[in-house]
Amino acid sequence: MVICPNCRSKDIGIIGTNQYYCWNCYIELSIQNDLLHLHEVEMDGSLSSLDDLFSDEERRVER
């Protein structure tokens, strides 16, 4: 189960293969090499990385 490292919510929706969306704090998450990559969706639809706000341990996904 994916848990949002930003708000700790479990209310995560699937938007594609290894791509998720947090319905609580409205960020996009993707999984690559067992690490979550977090992105904020900007007004123009582009994505801004939030990875630098979290440690690798906070972003690690256990499968």
Q: How many domains does the chain have?
A: 1
**Domain membership flag for residue 50:** no
Question: For residue 59, is it within any domain?
Answer: no
pLDDT the model gives residue 47: 92
Residue 57 lies in a domain: no
In a domain, 23, yes or no: yes
HEC per residue, 1-63: CCCCCCCCCCCEEEEECCEEEECCCCEEEEEECCEEEEEEECCCCCEEECHHHCCHHHHECCC
CB distance 13 to 4 below 8 Å: no
CA distance 33 to 59: 11
| pLDDT tens by residue, 2-28 | 889 999 999 999 999 999 999 999 999
Please give the residue range of the domain that contains residue 35: 1-45
Q: Is residue 61 part of a domain?
A: no
Residue 31: which of 12, 44, 7 has the closest Cα? 12
Q: What is the pLDDT of residue 13?
A: 95
